[in-house]
Amino acid sequence: MPYIKKTAGKKAPAKRKLAEVFALGEVLTDTSRKEWKLGVPIGQGGFGRLYLADVNSSKSVGSDAPYVVKVEPSQNGPLFTELKFYMRAAKPDEIQKWTKSHKLKYLGVPRYWGSGLHEKSGNSYRFMIMDRFGRDLQKVYEENAKRFAHKTVLQLGLRILDILEYIHEHEYVHGDIKASNLLQSYKNPNQVYLVDYGLAYRYCPEGVHKAYKEDPKRCHDGTIEYTSIDAHKGVAPSRRGDLEILGYCMVHWLSGHLPWEDNLKDPNFVRDSKIRCRDNISELMEKCFPGKNKPDEIRKYMEKVKQLSYEEKPVYPHFREILLQGLKSIGQKDDGVLDFGLSENGDVQTNPVQKMAAEGQSDIMASDMEARMKQRCIIEFLHAEKIAPIDIHRRLLNVYGDQTVDVSTVRRWVVRFSSGDNDLKDKPRSGRPCTAVTPRNEERLNQLIQSNLGITTRELCTELNIGFNALETMVGS
């Protein structure tokens, strides 16, 4: 999370409102008069909500919808800021033109498909339509024992350099590059997109670069472990800052370590550590890669970043060439395939979660575990209401889309409930007995199902009177 420095006498920001839940099938009309139909909610962040979406038609929005709609109350600021970037720099035709002229297979900048204002229940909401994406790389990184393979790190670096060159040429810097802001394509996991432009900064409006100026009120902006030395000093983001942040990311992804990671609550310590490592890059390499096998291309990359002045335009091909030479040195090439297997002692191994799914031993990936646990709660509840498995599955499908457990899993769990083999009964929860599920009001149930994507599994267990710890051990059965 970004570290925000508190300043004396500074007014607290106005309290932001959370967007209300929109109904399935609600139609939004963008500024070009194009209509978009909403599907199921797929998450929320900050004060906005995300929904699956598609171009309006007589059909309902399916679980394979290609778009998402981001909705926030119109008085909130983050989406408005993000919209400025997308409208200036992320129009599909512009991205396609750049991709073709630079001979790229793809460019990892989300495409902007439309936006507008929508009135509901007397309130005004701002919305934006974007491509749908898959998982974020932070989840993948954590599943892989917090390491990425050497080849994967260098290829990610190459793709991110492509992205940065594009947005820099459009007068913006990102300022918050990190694994959680990198999303895999919904259809192609080998394609990665840089998202979250709520903090994007127009560093060069009308071709005039912002002057270097240290502002104590802006010290340490960004994500503390990766943010640039300039940002630590309160200087506005610049192109060299983006490349510096990418350098820290590559070091972290490859080594699993940053020298300042144990002191993130002390931003001045982090700043001073980064300055020492910039002044002595060999020290950074020794701390993160102890032993003989130090990636020389990472050292060269960081040395190249160090040479950049604040307003200097990076020569992006030079940075790419450094990473390409790194691939060559390990007997690899930039083939566009991202291998997210576990990295141990320099060797790539198959991720056991991915292996389980590939062998058909699991119908869910680790990132879907939370959704699976919630579904099991709801299945038991609906079974107690004497609802048939096929109808239970249909209800779940409307909410969870492609994260829904298959109907055979629903039937298997229902059989266990019917036979009395229910490990979720009579288990302790918060130090007191947990009773069996009891029938509840149908309207309350529907509200719960529709809203459960925004609450935790523990809260859902409390609502349905189910033991959380027992549930956690049962989801794979």
pLDDT digits (tens, 9 = 90+) for 107-122: 999 999 999 999 998 8
Cβ(257)–Cβ(277) below 8 Å? no
pLDDT value, residue 8: 40
Confidence of residue 349 (pLDDT cuts 50, 70, 90): low
Which residue among 30, 176, 196, 221 is the active-site one? Answer: 176
Tell me the pairing of strands 133-136 and 182-185: antiparallel
Structure tokens at 403: 């994260």
End-to-end, the C-alpha distance of the chain in Å comes to 35
pLDDT value, residue 71: 92
Higher per-residue confidence, 382 vs 328: 328
Confidence of residue 42 (pLDDT cuts 50, 70, 90): confident
Give the chain's domains with CATH numbers.
27-131 (3.30.200.20), 134-349 (1.10.510.10), 366-474 (no CATH)
* Mean pLDDT of all residues in 54-68: 92
Alpha carbon separation from 97 to 21, 91, 180, 188, 274 (Å, rounded): 37, 10, 28, 21, 38
Is 176 marked active-site?
A: yes
Confidence of residue 380 (pLDDT cuts 50, 70, 90): confident
Q: What is the DSSP letter of 119?
A: E
473 CB contacts (<8 Å, ≥6 apart)? 423
Average pLDDT taken over every residue of the chain: 81
pLDDT value, residue 81: 82
% of the chain beyond a pLDDT of 90: 55
Q: List strand residue ranges (DSSP E) for 3-97, in order.
A: 27-29, 35-45, 48-55, 67-73
pLDDT value, residue 324: 98
* Mean pLDDT of all residues in 396-418: 72
Q: Give the closest residue to 233 by CA, choosing from 196, 273, 268.
A: 268
Q: Give the closest residue to 377 by CA, choosing from 310, 280, 453.
A: 453
Higher per-residue confidence, 403 vs 332: 332
Q: Give the closest residue to 413 by CA, choosing from 389, 435, 438.
A: 389
Q: In the predicted model, is pLDDT for residue 355 greater than 80?
A: no
Name the 3-class secondary structure at 103. coil
pLDDT value, residue 458: 54
Higher per-residue confidence, 156 vs 72: 156
The DSSP string of 369-406 is: HHHHHHHHHHHHHHHHTT--HHHHHHHHHHHHGGGPPP
pLDDT value, residue 376: 76
Q: Is the dihedral of CA 105, 110, 115, 121 positive or negative?
A: positive
Bridge-partner residues for 183, per DSSP? 136, 193
- Is 70 a known ligand-binding residue? yes
- Number of neighbours of residue 303 by Cβ within 10 angstroms: 14
Q: Is the dihedral of CA 371, 377, 381, 384 positive or negative?
A: positive
Least confident of 71-75, 131-135, 225-229, 350-354: 350-354
The DSSP string of 249-298 is: HHHHHHHS--TTGGGTT-HHHHHHHHHHHHH-HHHHHHHHS-SS---HHH
Q: In the predicted model, is pLDDT for residue 467 greater than 60?
A: no
pLDDT digits (tens, 9 = 90+) for 422-441: 444 333 333 333 333 334 44
- Number of neighbours of residue 170 by Cβ within 10 angstroms: 17
Q: Give pTM, 2 decimals.
A: 0.71
Higher per-residue confidence, 467 vs 186: 186
**CA dist., res. 16 & res. 463, Å (int):** 27
pLDDT value, residue 296: 96
